[in-house]
Structure formats: C-alpha cells, structure tokens
Amino acid sequence: MPRPASRPPRVAMLSVHTSPLHQPGTGDAGGMNVYMVQLARALATKGAEIDVFTRCRGEGLPARVPLADQVTVHHLHAGPCGPLAKEALPGTLPEFSRDLLRVAEHCRSYDVVHSHYWLSGQVGRAVAGHWRIPLVHTMHTLGRVKNASLAPGDSAEPAARILGEHQVVDAADRLIANTADEAAALHDLYGAETTRTDIVRPGVDTETFSPGAGRQAARRRLGLPPDAFIPLFVGRIQPLKGPDVLIRAIAELLGLAPELRTRLLVPVIGGLSGSGAHAPGLPDLCRHLGVDDVVRTEPAVRQRTLADWYRAADVLVVPSRSESFGLVAVEAQACGTPVLAARVGGLPTAVQDGRTGLLVDGHRPADYARNLLALARAPRRAHAMGRAGVRHAAGMAWETAAEATLATYERAAWTARRGWAGAAACPCPGGIPPLEVLGSRRFRERLPK
C-alpha cells in the first residue's frame, strides 16, 4: 500500500534500454541518462532510497553498482547479455520483468515505480500491478512527435512503439512531462488526462557546469586557439539532433563571410546513435561542402571536460528536429555560453530567446548561418547573453526537480488510495499482469491503422 507520508519513499526506477552508468552522447545514452543520475541523487539527499534497474549489456560490471548514497544500479538478465538494437528490445521485456521481480525479492519493498521511456513503462505497468503500488512514468521522447519532424531519409518510429506509448499513458497513475509543450503533446496526441500529468522541469548541476575561470582558461586547457570563433555541437550523431543542419549552416556562413575561415573552428562532440551501424555520413558531408578543414569531430567526453568545451565555445548550436527539453542548452548557459537553437519542443523553455540565446524557426541552414554571423560580429551581445544564461540556469536546480517529483509520488499514492484497479481487475498466472510480446499476432492486431 502507499507509504506513510512521514517516511521518504523507496523507489524502483526502471531504464530498460540504457543505463545511468553509460556515457552520455554515445549509443542510446543522452539527456535521459543525465536526468536519471541527477534526479536519483537529488531524491536521495531528501531521504529517498532508489534502486535503478537496467538490462545487462555484458560490460563486465557487477550485478549491483552503487551510484551514490542510497542509489544502486541493478543489472538484470533479459535476452543476451550484450548490446541489442532497440528494435529487438521489446521481445526481452517479459524476461526483464521476471528478473526484476526475482531480484527485488532480495532488495526491499517499494512504494512507487518510476519508469523512463516507453519500453520501461511497459515493464512498469506489469510490476507495479504485481506489487500493487503506483506507477509514475516519464516519457522523455514521444514517437508521434518524432514522426512529425523527421529528417529527410530518417526512419519513422514504428507503430508498435506508438501503441506501446498509448498503453503506458493509460496505465500510469501519474505522468511527468518536462515542459508544458510536452504535457500538451501527451494530451493532444495520446489522450493523457491533464489532471494526471505533472510538469517537472529538469535541473542542471551548477557545481560541474559553471563559468569557472572563463573562456580563455578553458581554451588553454583544451589546446584551442585563443582568437577562434567557435560554434559548438554536443549530442549524439543522429538526424534527429540535426548535426547536418549545422554543417550546412557553416558552409553558408563561409559564403557570407569567407574571411571567417582563418579563425573558424566547429567542434562536433558526440558518438554515433544506437549501434552505429548506419553512420549519418557527416565526414562525407563536410568534404562535399568544403568545410572539413574547419569541422573537428570529437568523441563524447565526461561531464567536467564537457564543461570546458562549453566554456571555450562562443555559442552552442542545438538544431534538433525534436527535443523534449534540451539539457545541453541549459548546461551551456550555466557555463556562460549563449545558445542558438531550433524553436522546437522544450528548447523555448530552456533558452530565453533574445536574452540567453537565439531561437530559429525551422531548420533552414541559411537562417542559422545569419544568426551565427550576427554573433560573430557582435561579441559584446553574445557575452551579455552568456551572463544572462548563467542567471537563467541558476534557477534550474535538481533539488527543485526532486521536490516536485516527490510531490508527484505523493499524488500517485493518493490516486492509488482512491481505488487502484490494476492486476486485481484481471486474474493472471502467478499474479503478474501479462506483457504482450511486441510483435506477436495479438499485439499486431491492435496496432493503429
């Protein structure tokens, strides 16, 4: 039953397809990984006990890994103990659920399940029903939103995901959206009740991400030219994040101001998305457009090194085609760097247009080029935006996000007390609600036409 209000909660946090231990900017790891780590730590400082359950990927890690005081990551066996493409993960969900229930018997009883991303939500609706505790879910990204803003040649999210998301929306006691825009998408595209949706804005780690000793000190540490104009890209290399938009914008920029070539440096920091089997071909695009001499690709880096890249840059460019929030934009602002971003998803919340950065309608490279040139020619304005960004980011604390999340857990428990109607509504073998295997005939018959 829901916990007494006097005791901090014990939380089973689920992340099937990626682990909070993974390096953001590689594979399937990104802002969601940062979100889980920072939220779990902030919840723990308020007394909560967090067990994060993720799939074993054969990385030589033990079954249990302490992440912070009162935060432990558990590796479960579901499918082969190794990397799997996202397309293969739905078939591992029943095994993940069974191993979760087995391992949890030796951990502790839980007060709430908090699942992240739709695959975890599928597991969450099964185990929360078995344990008779509330399910809280955070989507992070939405298949219908992504399909509405695909890059040319990019693959649409499958119908199985769309139906899976609808099922999670229907099953969750509470939904957490990062922004009002995401909450509206949940309501308009998935029929989520606004009374069951809480808006909890993510935070930023201002101890790691801060102006530090300034731009020139960061450039010296990274070995970068002191007088360079540096537009920076940080994120997974995938069409959704729009690195191709930046590369094309750089070619347009050099057409507008060829004199910039001698001092232009464009670092692209991040790894290939997913397995990396189908690279988007950025090096070929750079060569084709004649900008390979100014673009510098770098692998994903740890947070403290990333903070130096933010400090060293003149502007962070976030040309995403879809973005639930855009943590990199807030991290850069916390370091004193303005942001040039697409006006999509949560980025208008993360960036204050005209004050801490500039927002662009659409993804036309020429529009980004014109804004980059304006920032290059007005360094004082860019510096003022950077100072305003530090103040803006200071108002986004993970402590605040943790307090709001605890309130969501309380509301979920209140909903449960009013009359939880999960597994009790359908007799299931062993008391575990069935997880339809995504791809089975029964599941395909329910896919949206």
> Binding site for UDP-N-acetyl-alpha-D-glucosamine, residues?
23-24, 31, 236, 241, 301, 323, 331
Strand partners, 7: none
User: Which three-class secondary structure state does DSSP give residue 436?
Assistant: coil
Task: Count CB atoms within 10 A of the CB of residue 137.
Answer: 27
Using DSSP, how many helices (H) and how many strands (E) does the chain show?
16, 14
Residue 279: both structure tokens together = 């690279």
146: left (phi > 0), else alpha (psi -120 to 50), else beta? alpha
Cα 208 to Cα 36: distance, rounded to the nearest angstrom: 16
Cα within 13 Å of Cα(421), Cβ side: 4
Angle between helices 243-256 and 365-377 (to 10 degrees): 60
| Residue set of the binding site | 17, 23-24, 28-33, 86, 117, 141, 161, 236, 241, 301, 310-311, 313, 323, 331, 337
Cα 346 to Cα 270: distance, rounded to the nearest angstrom: 21
| Residue set of the binding site for Mg(2+) | 310-311, 313, 337
| Residue set of the binding site for 1D-myo-inositol 3-phosphate | 17, 28-33, 86, 117, 141, 161
DSSP class of 4: P
Q: In what order do the strands lie in the sheet with 357-360?
A: 295-298, 266-269, 231-234, 315-318, 339-342, 357-360
Q: In what order do the strands lie in the sheet with 174-177?
A: 64-68, 71-76, 49-55, 10-14, 112-116, 135-138, 174-177, 197-199
User: Which three-class secondary structure state does DSSP give residue 128?
Assistant: helix
Cα 48 to Cα 51: distance, rounded to the nearest angstrom: 10
Query: Using alpha carbons only, how large is the chain's radius of gyration in Å?
Result: 22
Residue 159: both structure tokens together = 């119908």
Please state the three-class secondary structure of 233-292 as a single string.
Answer: EECCECHHHCHHHHHHHHHHHHHHCHHHHHHECEEEECCEECCCCCCCCHHHHHHHHCCC
Cα 378 to Cα 375: distance, rounded to the nearest angstrom: 5
